[in-house]
Amino acid sequence: MAKSSVISGSSKKQEGVGETVSTVIYTLLIAVVIRTFLFEPFNIPSGSMIPTLLVGDYLFVSKYSYGYSRHSVPFSVIPFTGRVFMSEPERGDVIVFKLPSDNKTDYIKRLIGLPGDTVRMQDGRLFINGQLIERTKSEDYVYRDTDGNVRRPTLYKEALPGGVVHDILEEGDNRRLDNTREFVVPPGHYFMMGDNRDNSVDSRADVGFVPAENLVGRAEFLFFSTDGSASIWEVWKWPFAIRFSRIFNGID
Catalytic residue selected from 48, 69, 200, 203:
48
Distance, CA of 198 to CA of 175 (rounded, Å): 7
Hey, how many other C-beta atoms are within 10 angstroms of the C-beta on 125? Answer: 15
Distance, CA of 230 to CA of 241 (rounded, Å): 6
Residue 172, burial from CB neighbour count under 10 angstroms (0-12, 13-18, 19+):
exposed
3-state secondary structure of 249: coil
Strand order across the 94-98 sheet: 39-43, 57-62, 215-225, 94-98, 106-113, 189-193, 210-211
11 is catalytic: no
Beta bridge partners of 118: 184
Distance, CA of 107 to CA of 78 (rounded, Å): 21
3-state secondary structure of 217: strand
109 is catalytic: yes
Catalytic residue selected from 72, 109, 200, 203:
109
Distance, CA of 170 to CA of 153 (rounded, Å): 5
Q: Which residues are catalytic?
A: 48, 109
